[in-house]
Amino acid sequence: MAVTRSRMACRRSLVLALLLAVVLVAGPLAEVADARPRRRATSGRRAKKRPARLRTARGPGPCKWRGGGSVHPLCNRRGGGIRLVVVTNVPGTNMSVNQAWAPNVTSFVQAARAAGFDLQAHDGAGPGQGSFRTAAMQRELRRRGYPANRPGTSMHEWGLAVDLLCNGKLFIDDPSNHWCREWVRANAHNFGIYVHPGEPWHWSSNGR
Ligand SMILES: [Zn+2]
């Protein structure tokens, strides 16, 4: 009798452990599925081999936002900053973007490369100025007369915008990178990347 009871207890704890494992695995998997771009990259295998480097940066004002007692989904729960990813999957690409948007940008850059076009962030105003910017960088750009948003209002501060160079040229009408720009305009939306209506070089997660 005692043996049967201990067997039943053993089975019960086994079932509980299995349920716990399913909950622990299913949660993070659902998050990963949400962050995935709509179209798969042609060379996704390479992206897995070279995982992107992570660093955390202080975000702008909205990172202090609290809705229903939880931290904004783009913010790092511990540090209060946003989680940044340096896109390293394609050599020579100098983009630092939000962890939530990084899979989109990585697939986008890889697909462009496969089509024969090189995409980079335009760091003409200084190192790192073409993708993620802190509020201080944003202020400095304005002081120097660049058409940058007020600190706290730019998608660059969220790591959700990139000022694109297409085959090494700024994203403006130039016959030498015409086909690169055409490719970006035709394909970016497949990766959740949209152009600002007034700034043809500024591509972000929402077109702002
Ligand atoms: Zn921009």
Report the separation in Å between the CA atom of 200 and the middle of ligand 1, taken as the mean of its atom positions: 9
Strands 119-121 and 95-98, bridge-based pairing: unpaired
CB atoms within 5 A of ion ligand 1 belong to 163, 202
The pLDDT, as a whole number, for residue 33 is: 37
The pLDDT, as a whole number, for residue 134 is: 81
| pLDDT tens column, 65-119 | 444 444 555 665 555 566 667 665 566 678 888 878 888 998 999 999 999 999 9
The pLDDT, as a whole number, for residue 17 is: 58
Residue 67, classed as helix, strand or coil, is strand
Report the separation in Å between the CA atom of 195 and the middle of ligand 1, taken as the mean of its atom positions: 10
What CA–CA distances, in Å, run from 135 to 116, 143, 153, 156, 196? 35, 12, 9, 9, 20
The pLDDT, as a whole number, for residue 126 is: 83
Residue 166 CA to residue 21 CA, distance in Å, equals: 46
Name the percent of the chain lying above pLDDT 70.
Answer: 57
| pLDDT tens column, 134-150 | 878 888 999 999 888 88
The pLDDT, as a whole number, for residue 162 is: 94
Q: Which amino acid is at 74?
A: L
Report the separation in Å between the CA atom of 26 and the middle of ligand 1, taken as the mean of its atom positions: 36
Contact 129, 123 (CB under 8 A): yes
Q: Which amino acid is at 156?
A: H
Q: What residue ranges define each of the domains in the chain, with the CATH number in brackets?
A: 36-204 (3.30.1380.10)
What CA–CA distances, in Å, run from 195 to 10, 68, 98, 169? 58, 32, 17, 17
| pLDDT tens column, 149-180 | 888 788 888 888 999 999 999 888 788 999 99
Report the separation in Å between the CA atom of 46 and the middle of ligand 1, taken as the mean of its atom positions: 28
| pLDDT tens column, 12-68 | 766 555 554 554 545 444 443 333 444 444 444 444 445 555 566 655 545 554 444
**pTM score, whole prediction:** 0.65
